[in-house]
Structure 1
């Protein structure tokens, strides 16, 4: 009887517990779910060598893969939905085609992989990628992808974004991409794709951006592109499209179009007939055939026409583009003066008219434009520079009355005919990135406010003028400046600027290039140079500096070019010069030193350059327009240096040019020079060096120039490697030196280059190669005699004549039967 009540009590409790468990386990905020084991193993098999710390948790078996950096899962953590990894690297040594692992993540919607390949092993797109039916976003950029694009990619019907740019993909473009009806962005730029663009691509109704630039595509753009009603951006530059006058029916929706760097493309007015919404147009290396009276039916914000064989004056139709913000007309053969209407365009902030034949003053009628980027370099502009420069606007303002803001970023006036003084007003304009006045006819004093601690200039080039005067004593160079070029002027006095740490910001100087060569500076080398830890190029040649070479130079770990030649320096070469770390690394592939410095300002990106370099290499002064990381050299020639050549000079394994000529150096040539595997030019001439030529020099496979002349060397010249390729001028002036190519005790080894042939021997060879005319004459004589005998026999004997002509007749009938038929 007591059982019934206990059952009655237990039933509500069981009900409550059941309801509680149902609510607990169905609550989305209470879940003990984990990433599936097979999916975590698939991610680990991608073999990323490292995951950047900014991505978060490392990838290990001890943690849930949904918590890993760069991984996103669905709300219940039941499946991996997204992977986003940049700059991590993949170890492909044991994994083969490692991207196959992605196919084991069937619920992926987003794949974002960039710069993930660090191995020479090829990475290809797996054909199983078509099994990822939920995929909407696919980016594998700059990751060393090779092979072809698999056709299975056309099965990703939910894909809206496809970017495989900056890889090594080859083969033709997939014709079936029209299956991806939801695709809005397609980028295959910077690959090795070839063939024509499939006409089926015209059936992508939602496509907004198409980028196939920098491939090997040919033919023309298909006429079906007229059906791409959503297309606003089309980049097809850097290919081999070759229709001379394109009849491409491009959709009117296009706002940005680039056809640069193709073949045999001539653009006329009819090409633009349907492009009423065009805002950005880029055309390089083509022909522009447009009349001066043409008025476009669009309003551009950016126009780039480079190397388009335009000729004549700046086209007047550009004046109708009232919204133009950026205009580039470089290398078009333009002549005449810069029209006044160009400076009156209130929205223009970037103007590039470089490499033309423009003449006259920079600003006609004294009108000064307010621009952030102005490049009129390599023209024939003349006159004085304006004494007053206003501040520029940045970013450009769309209003009629733009707000004056900020500093002009780039001002390129180099390689013209400007005269007079450099106006101090340039200091007030506070150029922020680059000011170049190189190779003009400017004179007078340098406004040193351009580089003092109050300046914001990063790159200043005043070389190749007639500037004179002294540098102010106690001048403190701005910590912002990265490149200072004052070469090829008439500057005098001591060069004693201060390069100190900015006390307020605590920053070291940013200076990377210092070139004051070909001036008249005097005194000792400034010890303050030792404070410039960022210095990469130091050129102080052809001045009147004296004293010793600073030991502080050996502490500049970034230095890759040192040129102190043609001065009056004395003492010995500092032995710590062999500690220059940037010259101790042998680099096969080089990057350009600060050649592209991206400056992001409200979405805009600019490019700045540190300029070129004059350097004596291989016995000739050469101009290097760009400073690469592989360009390394030491030139201490034409001084009064004495002592020995540091015996461990060979530690500088990355050195390419070494010139210690025209000094008073003594001792031996260090055997360690044979360790300089990258050495291309070695000049130790006109010194007092003695001893043998080290046999280790034979191992320098890159050595193209060698000058050991005018020393006191002795012994035999090594006869292996590159040593046998040099002429006797490389060794002359060493009386005790023996062996080829010197005439003394020269015995050319087998396979060696033979000595020059004498004039007499050369003459004999020419005569032996002449046509034997006497033999030809004998042959003709025999032939003529035989013919005469035949003619005599035929004329004397009737029997011979009958046999001869019958034989001729039978031969003709055999060869040409139709003659016999005609006779019948």
Structure 2
């Protein structure tokens, strides 16, 4: 109904009782007079995202029982016009742009059973006292800007089942509850600034099923005794309350948790593994990551637990017997102090996610892991594992993420990937792998990230991967790839590629201008991708969401930088330190540096240094943002930003400076370049700061960086010396 003029609805008969225009694509400002039809009982305008306007300042129809304006574009304040609407049982204004304070007349509606004002811009505090809402069953006011304390009357409404106030700006302690509601089932107050300890009256809400108070400033100690009082509780999330702790003083005491299924205490200053949870026979998900649990978790502490998902990442663990868990399907032990071999897993478990990165593990991947045919995720990065990569991993059709980077694996990469492979991320960076890149990777039609940089591979450019329509990251850096990249039939090659790094290899010939024409993923950045959106993979297992952020090492301003999260708007092309050459006359439209690159306006980094390129450097658009570091070591190049002039050129082609003449630090500035830079800087800064602050282990970060830099500086130096001693056409005999 996009062509229907909303004002035509004013001709509706005054005796109309039910009016539903849900999902009709109405557009423009809605006439406020319709809200005042004298006989109107049900009015549904929801899901008309192009419809807007203000609610009328005069009274709405007193006959209304159901009013739904979800997901429109209504704005302005909500007028205080609900005083005479005593028949109203359903009021939902979800996902609009209403602002200002909540009108007090809403809290006095005697018949209201459903109130949803979520996802607006509402401000101010909730009232301290109310006289209505005796029949209210659901109170949803999340994702607004509500301030002040959490008033006690919210927990005393006699009919309330669900209370949702998450993602607001509530502060202070939870008020003492005089008359606790005995039917309240769900309380969601996460992402606020609520402080203080729990009032003892809170634990008299004995019918609570789900409680989410994560990401607040709660303090005190949460004991097994208190937890056992909530006998119907199934889901408890108290994560990210750094002053809160979980006591383990219940050894030998017979507490019962008959219904507890999901327990999350991440970042809560926990010192010991809560062994009393062995008596929570229904517990499926336990997240106690980012705490201070140290040493060995003994078998007696976990024996008998029927967990399906266990997250102990970012602690100080030195050992745990995973074989004691018979039903475990998802485990995250990343960033601990585990040593020795990979843990032996129960053969009765159908493992889906196994994450043990960032430890001190040694040895090989056990052959028994070939029985884990249900694996979705296998992340063993940043350890000291060695041996060969098992051939069976390529046969896992369900495997989505295989991350083995920064280990000591050697031998060849398995060439056993199957047609129905679900592989999305394949990261082997920083190992000692040899041979060729397996051609069966071309079967992995969902592949988005392929990183085999810093190995010993000896191969030609993998043209077969060009048909992978979703490939976004291709890193072949620091191997022994050789030969020409150019392909005479590159139809639809790499359409979604955002990052390509083939630097420090032995590629020769001309730069492949035909490839650059097809890099639509760099050229056609969608509007939503220009915001801070990241590459990654997400899915749910055992009712617990899992999200993996892709990360890569790139060279920025001559230094290795790890992007722990890759912004979708970030693009880089690094062809440096190869043997590209050639100059073809411009009038024939042939290659110097391809003019096609100038249209890649979101390209953040371009590195063509240390090749044998010749001719004019293209100018305009994104090329005006690159410094001379992008082209050094190409004696045949000329033009801006290099000082070397081209033929018939008197001055370097530089755009006029927008800085003062006396500003010695004047630099070229491009907003798109700056946004990408700020995005990466924000990611790196926040990630590093978070790790240091939360883990308290800045020495770990320092050691990782120094170890990585020393390793690759030695390798690059050795390779550079070796190249200097070789003849121009001589192939290297072995990997440096």
TM range (shorter): 0.7 to 0.9
Cα distance change on mapping 1:161 and 1:391 into 2, 3 Å? farther
Question: Which residue of structure 2 lines up, in the alignment, with residue 451 of structure 1?
Answer: 394
C-alpha separation in 2, matches of 1:645 and 1:101: 68
Q: Is structure 2 residue 338 aligned with structure 1 residue 381?
A: yes
Worse overlay, 591-600 or 155-164:
591-600
Q: Is structure 2 residue 97 aligned with structure 1 residue 138?
A: no
- Kept in 2, the 8 Å contact 1:349–1:371? The answer is yes
Determine which of 320, 323, 339 is the counterpart of 2:298.
Answer: 339
Unaligned runs of 5+ residues in structure 1 are 1-33, 52-59, 61-77, 393-406, 502-507, 695-707, 725-747, 756-824
Taking structure 2 as the reference length, the TM-score comes to 0.76
Cα distance change on mapping 1:494 and 1:595 into 2, 3 Å? closer
Structure 1 residues 293-348: Cα deviation after superposition (integer angstroms, max 9, x where no partner)? 3644644322111111222x313322232322211111111011122135533421
Cα distance change on mapping 1:373 and 1:145 into 2, 3 Å? farther
Determine which of 540, 548, 554 is the counterpart of 1:599.
Answer: 540
Cα distance change on mapping 1:81 and 1:610 into 2, 3 Å? same
Structure 1 residues 361-408: Cα deviation after superposition (integer angstroms, max 9, x where no partner)? 544xx646331211111112223235665253xxxxxxxxxxxxxx42
Q: Is structure 2 residue 434 aligned with structure 1 residue 492?
A: yes
Structure 1 residues 701-725: Cα deviation after superposition (integer angstroms, max 9, x where no partner)? xxxxxxx589989835858547x7x
- Kept in 2, the 8 Å contact 1:653–1:676? The answer is no
Question: Which residue of structure 2 lines up, in the alignment, with residue 584 of structure 1?
Answer: 523
Q: Is structure 2 residue 553 aligned with structure 1 residue 614?
A: yes
Cα distance change on mapping 1:667 and 1:225 into 2, 3 Å? farther
Taking structure 1 as the reference length, the TM-score comes to 0.68
Question: Which residue of structure 1 lines up, in the alignment, with residue 266 of structure 2?
Answer: 306
- Kept in 1, the 8 Å contact 2:579–2:611? The answer is yes
- Kept in 2, the 8 Å contact 1:136–1:159? The answer is yes
| TM alignment of 1:366-765, pairs within 5 A | 367=324, 369-385=326-342, 389-392=346-349, 407-452=350-395, 454-472=396-414, 475-476=417-418, 478-500=420-442, 509-551=445-487, 552=490, 555-576=493-514, 577-585=516-524, 587=527, 589-590=530-531, 592-593=533-534, 595=536, 597-599=538-540, 604-643=543-582, 644-674=592-622, 683-688=630-635, 690-693=637-640, 715=651, 718=654, 720-721=656-657, 749-753=661-665
Kindly state the Cα deviation for residue 231 of structure 1 after the two structures are TM-superposed: 1.5
C-alpha separation in 1, matches of 2:356 and 2:540: 21
Worse overlay, 270-279 or 158-167:
270-279
Kindly state the Cα deviation for residue 106 of structure 1 after the two structures are TM-superposed: 5.3
Q: CA RMSD in A?
A: 4.0
Determine which of 152, 163, 176 is the counterpart of 2:105.
Answer: 152
- Kept in 1, the 8 Å contact 2:15–2:40? The answer is no
Kindly state the Cα deviation for residue 259 of structure 1 after the two structures are TM-superposed: 2.4
- Kept in 2, the 8 Å contact 1:106–1:131? The answer is no
Cα distance change on mapping 1:376 and 1:226 into 2, 3 Å? farther
C-alpha separation in 2, matches of 1:496 and 1:469: 13
Higher alpha-carbon Rg: 1
Worse overlay, 656-665 or 578-587:
578-587
C-alpha separation in 1, matches of 2:567 and 2:155: 44
Cα distance change on mapping 1:98 and 1:642 into 2, 3 Å? farther
- Kept in 2, the 8 Å contact 1:513–1:610? The answer is no
- Kept in 2, the 8 Å contact 1:449–1:455? The answer is no
Determine which of 233, 236, 252 is the counterpart of 1:281.
Answer: 236
Kindly state the Cα deviation for residue 571 of structure 1 after the two structures are TM-superposed: 1.9
Kindly state the Cα deviation for residue 155 of structure 1 after the two structures are TM-superposed: 4.3
C-alpha separation in 2, matches of 1:382 and 1:580: 44
Cα distance change on mapping 1:128 and 1:390 into 2, 3 Å? farther
Determine which of 281, 293, 302 is the counterpart of 1:322.
Answer: 281
- Kept in 2, the 8 Å contact 1:566–1:639? The answer is yes
- Higher RCO (CA-CA < 8 Å; seq separation 6+): 2
Kindly state the Cα deviation for residue 351 of structure 1 after the two structures are TM-superposed: 0.7
Question: Which residue of structure 2 lines up, in the alignment, with residue 19 of structure 1?
Answer: none
Q: Is structure 2 residue 198 aligned with structure 1 residue 255?
A: no
- Kept in 2, the 8 Å contact 1:688–1:711? The answer is no
Kindly state the Cα deviation for residue 172 of structure 1 after the two structures are TM-superposed: 1.6
- Kept in 2, the 8 Å contact 1:222–1:248? The answer is no
Structure 1 residues 60-96: Cα deviation after superposition (integer angstroms, max 9, x where no partner)? 9xxxxxxxxxxxxxxxxx967253744x52254xxx4
Question: Which residue of structure 2 lines up, in the alignment, with residue 73 of structure 1?
Answer: none
Question: Which residue of structure 2 lines up, in the alignment, with residue 83 of structure 1?
Answer: 44
Kindly state the Cα deviation for residue 469 of structure 1 after the two structures are TM-superposed: 0.8
Question: Which residue of structure 2 lines up, in the alignment, with residue 779 of structure 1?
Answer: none
C-alpha separation in 2, matches of 1:358 and 1:432: 24
C-alpha separation in 1, matches of 2:401 and 2:176: 48
Number of equivalent positions: 629
Kindly state the Cα deviation for residue 608 of structure 1 after the two structures are TM-superposed: 2.8
Cα distance change on mapping 1:112 and 1:548 into 2, 3 Å? farther
- Kept in 1, the 8 Å contact 2:137–2:160? The answer is yes
Question: Which residue of structure 2 lines up, in the alignment, with residue 26 of structure 1?
Answer: none
Structure 1 residues 457-487: Cα deviation after superposition (integer angstroms, max 9, x where no partner)? 1111111111111135575465311111111
Question: Which residue of structure 2 lines up, in the alignment, with residue 238 of structure 1?
Answer: 191
C-alpha separation in 2, matches of 1:182 and 1:220: 26
C-alpha separation in 1, matches of 2:362 and 2:341: 5
Kindly state the Cα deviation for residue 494 of structure 1 after the two structures are TM-superposed: 1.0
Cα distance change on mapping 1:344 and 1:639 into 2, 3 Å? same
Question: Which residue of structure 2 lines up, in the alignment, with residue 165 of structure 1?
Answer: 118
Question: Which residue of structure 1 lines up, in the alignment, with residue 718 of structure 2?
Answer: none
Cα distance change on mapping 1:640 and 1:478 into 2, 3 Å? farther
Cα distance change on mapping 1:359 and 1:45 into 2, 3 Å? closer
C-alpha separation in 1, matches of 2:96 and 2:366: 50
Worse overlay, 128-137 or 368-377:
128-137
C-alpha separation in 1, matches of 2:435 and 2:500: 22
